[in-house]
Structure 1
Amino acid sequence: MRFVKLHGSGNDFVVFDNRQGEVYKFLGDLNIKLEDFVVKVCALHTGVGADGLILIENPDDPENDFKWQFFNSDGSVAGMCGNGSRCAVRFAYENGIADKKVKFETLVGVIEAEVLDEGKRVKVLLTEPHSFKNMHIRVKNKDIKGYYINTGVPHFVVIVDDLEEFDVVTYGREIRFHETFSPSGTNATFVKVNSEGIVNIRTYERGVENETLACGTGAAASAIVAYTQGLVRRKPIEVRTKGGDILRIDFDDDLKRVFLEGSVYKVFDGFLYKEALYY
């Protein structure tokens, strides 16, 4: 079964065209659950390896170009993924599913996007942020000040003094599973603004359960926090990910419209063999 692997700033995804139900037929023949399929495909070493998996499907509303199903690498469903959405848009554009102006259906609503540079860059209008508030939580006997905001998925943003040496995995995991955010948990994004006004971030992602090289919704959350707290004063805001890429975040002052723009890389086309799912 054919797939394409793409990544946005190092955040990598396996994408399948499921408009004809090919994935469901494939799983039916093997008697494998969709959740188990996702885990096996996303597994390092024994699978393709990815932070998430995307199914491109026919839209419920013919006014839209497609519908997606998005899964984290642990098989859990996510309503939104900023970098994943950019990869899905490039896939749809290159396969004639959408033109340069794109609308697609997600669990959090219809997402609008624009294809730039023939798909090598994509600009996405994220869902309207909500639940923005300052918070203090106790983590490992320390009082952690942060900013909670939902940019399609929840993020707890923490400003740190030394981002490079910060223990993202340890503190990220503690925050992700903190009782304050139960039962669904939160992503944890750590931020340092440099002298040039670039927002540097590292993110521990819920569902991947580890630090990833990039997180689009985390970049948006961090840019909003940095701007509202006076750490940066100009928009659009440049956010540097752990993978080294720069994401561009722009938004209205009332936070009604938030845009995420960045490069999308096509890694390879491939064919998934059934025997990969038996390991």
Structure 2
Amino acid sequence: MRFSKLQGSGNDFVVIDNRDGKVDEFLKASNIDIKDFVRKVCAFHIGVGADGLILIEEPKDKGNDFSWRFFNSDGSVAEMCGNGSRCAVRFAFEEGIAGEKVRFETLAGVIQAFVSHGGKRVKVQLTQPKDYREVRLEVDGQRIEGSFINTGVPHFVALVEDIEKIDVVRLGRLIRFHPDFQPKGTNVNFIQVKTSDSIRIRTYERGVETETLACGTGATASAIIAYKKGLVSSKPISVITRSGEVLTIDFDEQLNEVFLEGGVVRVFDGFLRRELFEC
């Protein structure tokens, strides 16, 4: 089965063109659950290794270019993924599925995107953020103040003085599973202000269940909250990810139009062998 691996700012994804339904046919014939399929493909060292897996499928509305099914590396379904969407768009552009202006369907709604630099740079217009609120948590005997917002998926954002001193995995996991965010949990972002229009970020991702090198919806949530709280004053906002790459976030004052932009790399193409799913 042919696949491609792409990455955006260090977030890497396996992308498969499933418009012909070959993945579903393989799962049925092999008696394999989709979650097990995703976990085996995304596993580092013993699989391809990725933060998530994307299936490109036919759209329900023929006015859109394609639909996707997005899975975190643990096999769980996510409504939206910012960097994943940018990788999916580059793949669709290069495979002739879509042009430079793209519309595709997700569980979070229809996403618009724009391709430039021959596919190497992609800007996506995310769905309108919702559920913004200030949050105070009791975590591990300490009080943590932050903000919550849903930018397609839920995100908690906390300002810290020194981002390098944060134990992202331990603290992030405690917040991710905090009772205030149940039953679905939340992604967790720690930010540090750098300049009037830039922040640094580290993210614990729900579904990956560890720190990732970048998170597009997390970068977007963090930029919006930093602006709302007056931590930055100029737009667009540059978000420096753990990988060192920069994501650009722009939005209007009413958050009707929110854009995430950055580079995308098509790392390699390959073929999955049946043997992977027999062990």
TM bucket, shorter chain: over 0.9
What are the Cα deviations for residues 28-72 of structure 1, in whole angstroms up to 9, with x where unaligned?
222111111000000011100000000000000100000000000
Q: Find the counterpart in structure 1 of residue 80 from structure 2.
A: 80
Residue matched to 1:165 = 165
**Residue correspondence of structure 1 range 3-18 to structure 2 within 5 A:** 3-18=3-18
Which residue pairs with 1:90 in the alignment?
90
2:65 alignment partner in structure 1: 65
Match of 1:255 in 2: 255
State the one-letter code of the partner of 2:27: L
User: Percentage identity across aligned positions?
Assistant: 63
Paired residue secondary structure (1:184): coil
TM (norm. structure 2) is 0.99
Structure-2 separation of matches of 1:257 and 1:142: 36
Amino acid at match of 1:56: I
Identify the residue that residue 222 of structure 2 maps to in structure 1.
222
Q: Which runs of 5+ in 1 are unaligned?
A: none
The aligned residue for residue 104 of structure 1 is 104
Cα deviation for residue 196 of structure 1 reads: 6.1
Q: Indicate the residue corresponding to 2:182 in structure 1.
A: 182
- The alignment partner of 1:194 has SS state of strand
SS at match of 1:201: strand
1 CA distance for matches of 2:277 and 2:37?
A: 7
Q: In the alignment, what sits opposite 1:243?
A: 243
- The aligned residue for residue 32 of structure 1 is 32
- The 3-state SS of whatever aligns with 1:118 is helix
The offset of 1:111, in angstroms, is: 0.4
2:132 is paired with a residue of what secondary structure? Answer: strand
Letter in 2 for 1:37: F
1:119 counterpart residue number: 119
Alignment root-mean-square deviation, CA = 0.8
* Cα distance in structure 1, aligned partners of 2:104 and 2:196: 36
Match of 2:164, SS state, is: coil
Alignment-derived partner of residue 140 in structure 1: 140
Query: What is the SS of the residue equivalent to 1:131?
Result: strand
CA–CA distance in structure 1, aligned partners of residues 26 and 161 of structure 2: 49
- Any unmatched runs of 5+ in structure 2? none
TM superposition score normalised by structure 1: 0.99
Does the 8 Å contact 2:129/2:151 carry over to 1? yes
Cα distance in 2 for partners of 1:77, 1:196 equals 36
Please give the secondary structure, in 2, of the residue aligned with 1:208: coil
Tell me, in whole angstroms, the C-alpha distance in 1 between the residues paired with 2:8 and 2:124.
12
8 Å CA contact 2:197–2:235 kept in 1: the answer is: no
2:61 and 2:195 mapped to 1: Cα distance? 47
Q: Please give the alpha-carbon distance, in whole angstroms, between the structure 2 residues aligned to 1:143 and 1:196.
A: 27
Could you say what secondary structure the match of 1:243 adopts?
A: coil
SS in 1 for 2:175: helix
The answer on whether the counterparts of 2:168 and 2:203 sit within 8 Å (CA) in structure 1 is: yes
What letter matches 1:26 in structure 2?
F
SS of aligned partner of 2:62: coil
**Which stretches of structure 1, 4 residues or more, deviate above 3 A after TM superposition?**
none
